[in-house]
Amino acid sequence: MTRKPLDPEIRFWSRVEKRGDDECWLWKGSFDKDGYGQMRNGFLKINDRAHRFSARLHFGELPKDKCVCHKCDNPSCVNPNHLFIAAQIDNQADKVQKNRHAKGEIQGHSKLTEKQVSDIRSRIDEGYQTLCDEYNLVPSTIYRIWRGQSWKHSISRAR
C-alpha cells in the first residue's frame, strides 16, 4: 500500500514556529544552500522555498517573474507580514539599500582583499606599473581603486 502525501499546507504549518504578528515566524524544516526554508511539494514533485509557499497561501498565485522578498531580511521567516512581492530589479535595489549585497572580497570574483586595496590606495605615488606588477592587475583597475570607482565601500581612500 502506498502512502498518500500529506496536504502541503498541513506539512507547511507543521514546520512553522508561529509567533506574534510582528515577529518572524521561523521555518523549522530543511534549508537550501542559501539559508532559505525549503519544503518538498509531493504533489508536484518539486522543492519550494518556504517563504514563497507562505506568500502563495496568503497572497494568492505569484507571477513567475516576481520575487518574494523579506522586509525582515531573515531567510527563514515565513510571516506574510514580513513578505512582499517585487520585481527582481526591486529586490536587488532593496538588497543594496540595506547593504546586504556582496561586495569587496566576499563577492566571489575578487582578486584582492580589503588590506590589499588599502595598500594600493596608500602607495599610488609609487606609480601604476609598480602596483600592476605586484598585484598582477591592469592599470585601469588600479586607477578605479584609487579614484574610488571600485571598492567604494572601503573605508580608507588614500589619494
Residue owning grid cell 586595496: 117
At 157, the amino acid letter reads R
27 Cβ neighbours under 8 A, 6+ residues apart: 15, 16, 17, 37, 50, 51, 76, 77, 78
Tell which residue, 23, 6, 4, has the closest CA to residue 15: 6
Could you tell me the residue ranges of all domains in the chain?
8-97, 104-147
Architecture of domain 8-97: Alpha-Beta Complex (3.90)
Tell me how far CA of residue 112 lies from CA of 1, 72, 116, 148, in angstroms: 59, 31, 6, 15
Span 85-101, pLDDT tens digits: 999 898 888 877 776 65
> Is the entire prediction scored with pTM above 0.95?
no
Phi/psi at 38 (5° precision): -135, 135
pLDDT digits (tens, 9 = 90+) for 48-62: 899 999 999 999 999
